[in-house]
Amino acid sequence: MPEEPKGPAPVSPPAGGEEPPAATSPVPSKTVVQQPVAAPKPEAAAASKPEPAKAAEPVPGEKAAAPAVAKPAAPAAKPAPKPEGPKPEPWESELVTRLRHEHGSGIHEASTYLGQKYLVVDKAILHDILMRLRDDERFDYCVDITAVHYPKREEQFDILYILYSFPQNERVRVKTQIKDGDSVHTAVDIWETANWLEREVYDMFGISFDGHPDLKRILLPDGWKGHPLRKDYPILQQDQEWVKINLGIESGQ
């Protein structure tokens, strides 16, 4: 394998590195300076390329796909058969019947999408439902807690609990929708693992959890302003003030 990067490297840089200076710059000393600058580029490009050339028929299709995506989506519209796509189907089971019987209209939706089951429940009964799922339906393992931000909706946030049952080898997602500024009851009393997971949701979305034993930021520093996974937080945004005070630089970008 050392041969592969080496192979194209000595060949291409002299060709690519020497010609432009000869054409553009009359000063001979510049060629010396430019050569090492130009050299890494073809090398890096060559290092990532040599493999696809080797592969068999199906590759050209995918090889074309990578650059196509990198460019703006000009050819995107025509081949895509739009009205396709699986739809959520109603999920009927004893579990849902039992929960519906008990909580009635609190269960807004019980569906499956691509074979994955989920429940949409009212915020008011969320904690009861989670408790019931663990105690009576044996969903003993809380895989993940996360949130999704939909700024255009009135109830801006989806909070998701991904649960798994060891005895039944089954997954279910419990989802609830809340408004910005609302809080939900913590699940730490149901699953200990919720502690850090809820802290992360708080850190990234600014959703608070009532009764959480230690609700504070987890990944970002304590004094940071803003919640980065909200949709109104652009990717380049940062807490300038914090960066200035704590890192002593103008910008972390």
Residues lying near other proteins in the complex (CB under 8 A) are found at 1, 4, 47-48, 50-52, 54-59, 61-66, 68-70, 73, 75-76, 79-80, 84-86, 88, 113-114, 116, 140-144, 146, 148-149, 160, 162, 166, 169, 171, 173, 191-193, 195-197, 200, 204, 217-221, 228-229, 233, 235
Minimum Å gap between C-beta 94 and other proteins is 21
Which residue, 107 or 204, is less far from other proteins as judged by CB?
204
Q: Which residue has tokens 């044996």? A: 138
Which residue, 26 or 79, is less far from other proteins as judged by CB?
79
Q: Which residue has tokens 């130009």? A: 38
Which residue, 144 or 182, is less far from other proteins as judged by CB?
144
Minimum Å gap between C-beta 129 and other proteins is 18
Locate 136 and state its tokens. Answer: 């009576």
Minimum Å gap between C-beta 65 and other proteins is 4
Which residue, 129 or 197, is less far from other proteins as judged by CB?
197
Minimum Å gap between C-beta 246 and other proteins is 13
Minimum Å gap between C-beta 7 and other proteins is 12
User: What b-and-e string marks burial along 132-145, b requiring 16 or more CB atoms within 10 Å of the CB?
Assistant: bbbeebebbebeeb
Minimum Å gap between C-beta 153 and other proteins is 13
- Say what angle helices 28-38 and 8-24 make with each other, to 10 degrees: 140
List the one residue out of 134, 119, 112, 127 whose CA is nearest residue 174.
Answer: 119
Which residue, 132 or 149, is less far from other proteins as judged by CB?
149
* Beta partners for residue 162, in sequence order: 144, 173
Which residue, 97 or 168, is less far from other proteins as judged by CB?
168
Q: How many CA atoms lie within 13 A of 15 on its CB side?
A: 7
Which residue, 36 or 50, is less far from other proteins as judged by CB?
50
Minimum Å gap between C-beta 197 and other proteins is 8
